[in-house]
Amino acid sequence: MPVELLLHPVPVHTGSGDQDGQLVLADGRLVAVLVRLDDLSHAGLLGAWFLEAGFGPCAHVVAPIFSDLDMAQNWIRQQFD
Amino acid sequence: MAARIELLIRKLEQFRRLSFDERQVLENVPIDVQKIDTGRDLRRDGQRSSHCLLLLDGMVCRYRTMQDGRRQIMSFHFPGDILDLSSLLLGRLDHDIEALTPLEVAPIPHATVLGWITHEPGLGRLLWQDTLVDAAVFREWVVNLGQRSAYTRTAHLLCEMAARLQAVGLAPDQTCTLPVTAAELADATSLSIVHINRVLQELRSKGLVEARGRTLVLLDRDGLRHAGGFDPGYLHQRAVPAA
């Protein structure tokens, strides 16, 4: 059975202009905190979603950046394969 | 070409003043300047060489590439540095060396460097001291990457780069321009590009740095020293009286 993802919007204190976040729960357990890159310092990455923190199968040395939330969810699902 | 070798002399004189004979030996080295484009690898992991490369102009990094393509920059190098002194005694290199800017380098045959050590053992000790300081810098990087916050870590690295440039007379003022990009700083500090952007933004907002094109200008070295908790003792630079 594919993992069921639930997104829950949450403000995140990143110490920067990046504040809009999403908690991602997989089958009821927190696996990722995604943050939208809105700080002007990100230039070419503005509006993309950054894996601010990952847990379990989503814990990654290199935090990926996704162009939108669908891409982020696809990646999270793949981590459970 | 004495002016070119002067960079190496300045670097070695961080430890002590050279004798007349030692200076003569270095000044008599024929310098064949080679120009290298940005992004080119000067040396590759596993490569053997019959020459040491003396950096005359520009900036270089030593790095290792991981299997998934990530890169760890392990050190930055500046004019006056001999980039692959280890090749003299260890043979194969255990990392890559890349040009971060357009470069001028001078290959110096291993036989010439060994000749310095034979005829002027004092020069051998100075090169040994240089490799010991290299090791001290690597130790400091371990501490920096392992124990300091992203903000402190980055400020500390910028202070170190400025202090090393200053030692060869290339950062004489309170301000200092580093030809380094956010991506390169990310690779050197083991931070993501997102985190290094945030750190640089914070340093900018405090008036400590300013980005200008592909360079980073350090505006307030005292402020950065404070931000990075930077103590230059590990660089073992001799206090040189003002000229």
Sequence ranges of the domains in chain B: 2-136, 150-235
- Check B198 against A41: CB less than 8 A apart: yes
Q: Which amino acid does the sequence have at B2?
A: A
- Spelled out in words, what is the top-level CATH class assigned to the domain B2-136? mainly beta
Q: What is the pLDDT of residues A14-60, one digit of tens each?
A: 999 999 999 999 999 999 999 999 999 998 899 999 999 999 999 98
Write the pLDDT tens digit of every residue in B115-136: 999 999 999 999 999 999 999 9
In chain A, what residues touch B193 (CB-CB under 8 Å)? 45, 65
Q: Quote the minimal CA–CA distance from A81 to chain B in Å.
A: 19
B241: pLDDT strictly greater than 50: no
- Contact B194/A18, CB-based, under 8 Å? yes
Please report, in angstroms and rounded to a whole number, the separation of the first and last CA atoms in chain A.
Answer: 10
Q: Chain A residues contacting B, CB < 8 Å? A: 14-16, 18, 37, 39-42, 45, 50, 61-63, 65
Q: Which of B194, B200, B202 sits opposite A37 (nearest CB)?
A: B194
Maximum distance among all Cα pairs of chain A, rounded to whole angstroms? 41
Annotation: CATH topology of B150-235: Arc Repressor Mutant, subunit A (1.10.10)
Cβ neighbours of residue A46 closer than 8 Å, sequence gap 6 or more? A37, A38, A40
Estimate to the nearest angstrom the gap between the alpha carbon of B2 and the chain centroid.
21
Query: What Cα–Cα distance (Å) separates residue A66 from each residue in A14, A21, A22, B11, B153?
Result: 18, 13, 13, 46, 27
Distance CA(A50)–CA(B176), nearest Å, equals 32
Q: How many CA atoms lie within 13 A of A76 on its CB side?
A: 31
Of A39, A61, A63, the CB nearest to B198: A39
| Residue B199, amino acid | V
Residue of A nearest to B210 (CA): A41
Q: Which of A36, A41, A60 has the most B C-beta neighbours within 10 Å, making it the best mutation to test the interface with B?
A: A41
Give the number of other CB atoms < 10 A from CB of residue B25.
Answer: 19
Q: Which domain holds residue A50?
A: 5-78
Residue B148 has pLDDT above 80, yes or no: yes
Which pair of tokens denotes residue A23?
Answer: 């908690």
Q: How far is A19 from chain B (nearest CA, A)?
A: 12
Higher pLDDT, B240 or A10: A10
Number of domains in chain A: 1
Cα separation, B152 vs B170, whole angstroms: 24
Summarize pLDDT for B45-81 with one digit per residue, the tens. Answer: 888 889 999 999 999 999 999 888 889 999 999 999 9
ipTM confidence: 0.91
Q: In chain B, which residues have their Cβ closer than 8 Å to the Cβ of A53? A: none
Q: Write out chain A residues lying below 8 Å of B190, CB-based.
A: none
